[in-house]
Chain A
Amino acid sequence: MNPPADARPRLSRGTRLSFDRVRHAHVLLYPEGVLFPNQTAIDVLRRCDGSNTVAAIADDLRHDYRAVELTDIAELLTQLSARGLLELDSN
């Protein structure tokens, strides 16, 4: 199920996006795990600060991404949320 458009996603407590100077790559660090996000995921994760709505993030990325990729963004948010890395509270 895709997140509601008015949800304001933010990284969960203990999860942060960082840049690894050794691998020259962005990394998502969380309790006991590391993810290497692709460029789309990096662009999305950077905007997940608890103030931007899903709709606003999609709008913001519309310049750089095609419609099909915007569907992927919703899916990405859902997946990250299912893994406990993202909170999707809509209040």
Chain B
Amino acid sequence: MPGATPEPPLGMLAELTHRCPLQCGYCSNPLELVGRAEELNTAQWCDVISQARELGVLQLHLSGGEPLQRPDLAEIVRHARREDCYVNLVTSGFGLTPERGGQLADAGVEHVQLSLQDADELAADAVAGATGAHRRKRAAADVITALGLPLTINVVLHRGNVDRIPDIVELAEAMGADRLELAHTQYYGWALRNRVRLMPTAAQLSAAEAAVAEARARSSNLRIGYVPADYHETYPKPCMHGWAARQLTVAPNGVALPCPAASVIDSLPVVNVRDTSLRSIWYEAESFQAFRGTSWMREPCVSCARRQLDFGGCRCQAFQLTGDPTHADPVCSLSPHRHLIDELVANAELGQALYLEPRRMRSAAAPR
């Protein structure tokens, strides 16, 4: 356990719902999606947001699933602004009619992140699992820019779309985006399940990096963010800037997590905002304390010069790949488990993009 009291959190990801009209096979939501009946209600979300602001949260990310599936979204936004949170809406754009957009802008949404699957319409609709998805997103971008809201286009990169970065940049410019976030797939939840079909080749990654550099040099108005494919890196990502250091996540059912993927570490006790105050969760919950600071570390992390730079990488990734969340992130070249990553990377050189298992709620008939 760390000795020092943690700093207050800067941001909260509020997953208002797991319901989503799209079925992207790279979704990082957990395989066990929360159903509508288990979601926090309006008053509960507003209370959580008030508690978050009191705790120090400045940035509120309203996400999901698709947050527009919640009819009370504008009410939640208005409450968050009254509490003086900075309100960021993370959406697929499905359901963002001019009327709905106007209500949300009036309520005080300050920035919109709109997901885009691809620059190619057919490929985009295939990944989203919905015909017309791509066109509806372009219409949603028009709604957002007409309202004068700053727009970030988010694109998850994978084997099937990574070759089209120049087209994606061109499309983002045409959509009037201020920012474009190109993020390689992070393998959690549904993306982990579909990993073999999503992983790019080394040649694709080299071409992608060149395309990003070229686009940045050319485009002065569009700011381009790039999140690398961590399996192909030498050192792990500084995941969340350290466990429970700056952000927290509240899942649709009120479960509070240090990061959106943390529910995979099944040894961590589950803590819920229905039963426990957010302050107590942030400062005292076992799941939040578990990997704070460096005292949980073992070799090679504990003596590593980089331990304050990347914090041993991602705890969820260490758990998912090695079965023990206190191991170094196996992406790290110093990890004794790096061979696991090397095998996946080598395998990606052989694989082909095939059918992605679509993200969906489990129905009674679906196998476990």
Which residues of A does B touch, CB under 8 Å?
Answer: 12-14, 16, 18, 20-23, 27, 29-34, 84
Q: How far is the CA of A29 from the CA of B61 in the complex (A)?
A: 13
Binding site for A on B (CB under 8 A): 8, 10-11, 53-56, 58-59, 84, 86, 88, 110-111, 113, 148-150, 152, 178-179, 223
Q: Are B59 and A29 in contact (CB under 8 A)?
A: yes
**Contact between chains at B55 and A13 (CB < 8 Å):** no
Known: A22-B8, A31-B88, A84-B223. A13 touches B58 (CB 8 A): no
Compute how far the CA of A27 lies from the CA of B84 in the bound complex, rounded to whole angstroms: 12
Checking A20, A27, A31 against B111 with a beta-carbon cut-off of 8 angstroms, the contacting residue is A31
Besides A18-B84, A84-B179, A84-B223, 5 other CB < 8 A contacts?
A: A13-B148, A20-B58, A29-B86, A31-B88, A31-B111
CB distance from B3 to the nearest CB of A (A): 22
9 tightest Cβ-Cβ pairs between the two chains A and B? A14-B150, A29-B86, A31-B111, A13-B150, A14-B111, A22-B56, A84-B223, A34-B58, A34-B10
CB-based nearest A residue for B223: A84
User: Which of chain A's residues has its CB closest to B8's CB?
Assistant: A22
A23, B8: Cβ atoms under 8 Å?
yes
Query: From residue B269, how far is it (CB to closest CB) to chain A in Å?
Result: 27
A28–chain B nearest beta-carbon distance, Å: 10
Q: Give A66 Cβ to nearest chain B Cβ, in Å.
A: 32
Partner of A14, one of B8, B10, B54, B110: B110
Task: Report the minimal beta-carbon distance from A6 to chain B, rounded to whole angstroms.
Answer: 21
What are 10 A-B interface contacts by the 8 Å CB criterion?
A13-B149, A13-B178, A18-B58, A22-B53, A29-B58, A31-B113, A31-B150, A31-B178, A32-B88, A34-B59
Inter-chain contacts of B54 with A (CB < 8 A): 22
Residues of A within 8 A of B88 (CB): 31-32
| Residue in A16, A23, A30, A31 whose Cβ sees the most chain B Cβ within 10 Å | A31
What residues of A have a CB within 8 angstroms of the CB of B148 in the complex? 13
* Residue of B58, B149, B178, B179 contacting most chain A CB atoms (<10 Å): B58
Q: Closest B-chain residue to A23, C-beta based?
A: B56
CA–CA, A33 and B179, complex, Å: 13
Contact A31 B58 (CB under 8 A): no
Contacts known (A14-B111, A32-B88, A84-B223); A27 close to B178, Cβ less than 8 A: no
